[in-house]
Chains A and B, each alone.
Chain A
Amino acid sequence: MSTGWNREQIAARVAQDIPDGSYVNLGIGIPELVAQFVPEGREFIYHTENGLLGMGPPPSDEERDLDLMNAGKKYVTAMPGAAYFHHADSFSMIRGGHLDVCVLGTLQVAANGDIANWSTGELDAVPAVGGAMDLVQGVKQIFVVTQHTTKTGEPKLVERCTYPLTGVGVVSRVYSDLAVIDITPDGFQLVELAPGVTFDEVKTKTGATLRPPAGSN
């Protein structure tokens, strides 16, 4: 039986890999938690698609401003030195390659770096894409955070995505409750196991070939 990482621990592990001074966009869910685990001595500047660079933590009731939200439509604050701008400037930062890291949740991620995180393709569902397709194309590094398997035990790390794609070959690294895994030209490669988790367990729960860490046998 494995222990693995909980949501906060996954977020904390992601934060370790973000260099000081990075401009970062965080998706909704576990990615949002990354902001709580900035390593000592580092500064990240957060971008939110709806027009704010320098996003701060949620406001107190007294601080709350109805005109100050993030892309998830939650109330936020602005840090000293923040800037507001319109949507075309915001997506110029994204598409123009000015942001360093984007952390996203997903439905599936494939061994070739494809990501599917906007639609399960069900015909009666209301499709919604938001800014995901722009983010995955434009931001320099795409980190994906996810539970390793679905609630019913299906792998979310797969050989090829079966859900509609958000982007092709764009993901660099995957952080799950079980492991950190790189996307390499040769597919998934283990970087690090969560505490109490074995390579064989991760391999079994991964829907594509998983190679051991570089330098090991």
Chain B
Amino acid sequence: MINKVCPTVAQAVADIPDGATVMVGGFGASGSPIELLHALIDQGAKNLTVINNNTGNGEVGLAALIANGQVSKMICSFPRSSQSRVFPKFYKEGKIALDLVPQGTLAERIRAAGAGMPAFYTPTTVGTVLAEGKEQREFEGRTYVLERWLKADYALIKCETADPLGNLTYNKTARNFSPLMCMAATTTIVQTRRLVERGEINPEHVVTPGIFVDRVVEVSEPVHEDILIAEGRRYP
């Protein structure tokens, strides 16, 4: 019988190797899988390429993973914000690489990887520096830029409710990139606020079907990035 439940966050991330490409769900603080990120800091994998819309805030979660020297490259759309200090410092010191991708292109590249589509044409970036060196083609009189899929070895995801099959629901805008990342990673690891029995999630309400999920770990009282930052916390 299929059971994807993993007892601890430490076990859930134990096999992530040095050099892995890791998608991290969340948009700013909402939906950020802080407990899985902190487990990855404890685990210590290095030279990671991380895909997230942002680069973390304060010195917790994703920012702490960068501060700990574990990330060699970020693929994101918006690497700075009012609370983002670690990435800008590392970037200016030449300690981390940046691949800047417009937000909609980032989402669609991840979706394409999950859907088995190696590339697609988008109007986004036409005529800008971000289109330089990319194949362009005209369709019905308008120019489009070719973009490729974006895959990952692992995805770290936070959700609201999960069952042992890996069916997931999210909470409000904490959903953001997570359903796409679940599809695009070879191994998808999910922390859930509520772990329920098989059959308890109405099939009509499932957002991420369990086929896209490999491991589920219950974190019933997840910390929130904004609260940790307000309290002046840092990790480790």
Contact = CB atoms under 8 A, between A and B. Distances in A.
Interface of A: 48-52, 65-71, 73, 78, 84-88, 90-91, 94-95, 114, 124, 126-134, 137-138, 164-168
B92 A126 contact: yes
Interface string B93-126: 0000010111111111011000000000011111
Contacts of B173: 48, 50-52, 67-70, 84
Contacts of A165: 127-129
Contacts of B125: 133
A107 to B, nearest CB: 14
Nearest to B27: A50
Given A68-B173, A85-B175, A86-B179, A167 B128 contact: yes
A71 B28 CA distance: 9
A50 B78 CA distance: 13
Contacts of A90: 104, 107
B227 interface: yes
Range of interface residues on B (Cβ < 8 Å) = 35 or more
Q: Which of B108, B125, B172, B180 has the most CB of A within 10 A?
A: B172
Contacts of A78: 172
B130 interface: yes
Interface in B21-80: 27-31, 53, 77-80
B3 interface: no
Contacts of A127: 79, 98, 100
Contact of B104 (A73, A84, A95): A95
B129 A95 contact: no
Contacts of A73: 27-29, 81
Contacts of B130: 129, 133
Given A133-B125, A133-B130, A167-B128, 20 more contacts: A50-B176, A51-B175, A52-B172, A66-B30, A67-B174, A69-B28, A69-B173, A73-B27, A86-B175, A86-B179, A87-B104, A87-B180, A95-B104, A129-B78, A129-B130, A134-B104, A137-B126, A138-B104, A165-B127, A168-B128
